[in-house]
Amino acid sequence: MLSYRHAFHAGNHADVLKHLILVRIARYLSEKPVPFWIVDTHAGAGRYALDSEYASKLAEYRDGIGRLWEAENLPPAAADYVDLVRSLNPDGRLRHYPGSPWLASQLLRDGDRLRLFELHSSDVKLLQECFRGRGRQVTITAGDGFAGLKAVLPPPPRRGLVLIDPSYETRDDYANVIKGLREALQRFPTGTYALWYPLLAKPEAQKLPGRLRALGAADWLHATLQVSAPSRDGFGMHGSGMFIINPPWTLKKTLQETLPQVAALFAQGDGAGFTLEGESS
C-alpha cells in the first residue's frame, strides 16, 4: 500500500528475524562458486537513520536490534548478523539500520546479482541513492514486486533467493503472496523463497501458514518469533513469522541454536517464545 513506510518500524523484532534468516540463506548460497541472484519484492529504502523523524517516532528498534547490540555471547548466526549491522555504524553507536537490500548487497560476489522492486515513490528515490554507483550488479525497479517476479524468474544462473515481505495493510496482500508464490514456483521450482508475515489477531494472518503449506512444496521451514502474548483488544503485532520454501539444509539446525536466545532477549512478558517446524523430502 502506498501509504506504508517501513522507516517507522526499522530494526524492530520482525526485522531481526527476517534479516537474520536472509543473511543465513545468502551465506549458504555463497558457499558454492556458481553465481546466484537475490530478488527483493518489497525493498523499501535500503537503509534507515534511526534518529530520523520516522524511526524515532515509535523507536521500535530499541526492542529489536537494540537488545542485540549490547548482548554478549550471541549464537554465531546472530553475531554474524549483528556484525553486519555494526559495519554500517563504524563509530560503535547504533544510529543506522540496514534494510534487506543493503544486507543482501554486502553478501554478493562479483558474479551475483540483486534485483529490487519498490512501489513507494519516495522510497524508490532513497533506494536509488543507496545503491548509486553499483552498476549492473544491483537493479532497481519502481513497481509492483509481485508483477516483477514474472520478468526475473527463473534467474539465468538457476540459483537464487526470493524475499517477499509486503506490508499486509490490506487483505489483498495475503491473497497476493499465495498467488505470487504459486506462479513463481511454476517458473523457478528449485529457488529458495523466504516469506515474512506478521503475527496478528486478524483471520487473514492466522490462516496464512496453512495456506502456505497447502502450496504443496516438498521442502519448507516455518519459524515464528513472539515477543508477547496477543493483546486483549486484538490490536497490534505480537511477533512475526518466516516461511521458507526450499531452505538450505543447514538452516533448521542454525535456527534451533539461535532462536531460543533471541526469543529470551526479546521477551516483553508472558507469551514470548518461538516455534520451528518443517518438512523435507
Query: What are the beta bridge partners of residue 184?
Result: none
Q: Which of 40, 165, 172, 219 is catalytic?
A: 165
pLDDT tier at 54 (50, 70, 90 boundaries)?
low
| Closest to 115 (Cα-Cα) out of 38, 9, 63, 171 | 38
The three cell numbers of residue 95 are: 544510529
- pLDDT (tens digit per residue) in 71-81: 999 999 999 99
- pLDDT (tens digit per residue) in 200-249: 999 999 999 999 999 999 999 999 999 999 887 777 899 999 999 999 99
Catalytic status, residue 173: no
CATH assignment of 6-198, among 3.30.10.20, 3.40.190.10, 3.90.1010.10, 3.40.50.150: 3.40.50.150
pLDDT tier at 55 (50, 70, 90 boundaries)?
low
pTM of this prediction exceeds 0.85: yes
Q: What is the pLDDT of residue 1?
A: 42
- pLDDT (tens digit per residue) in 141-153: 999 999 999 999 9
Cα distance between residue 136 and residue 132, in whole Å: 11
CA dihedral of 121, 164, 12, 74, whole degrees rounded to 10 = -140
In sequence order, the 6+-apart residues with CB closer than 8 A to the CB of 213 are: 220, 222
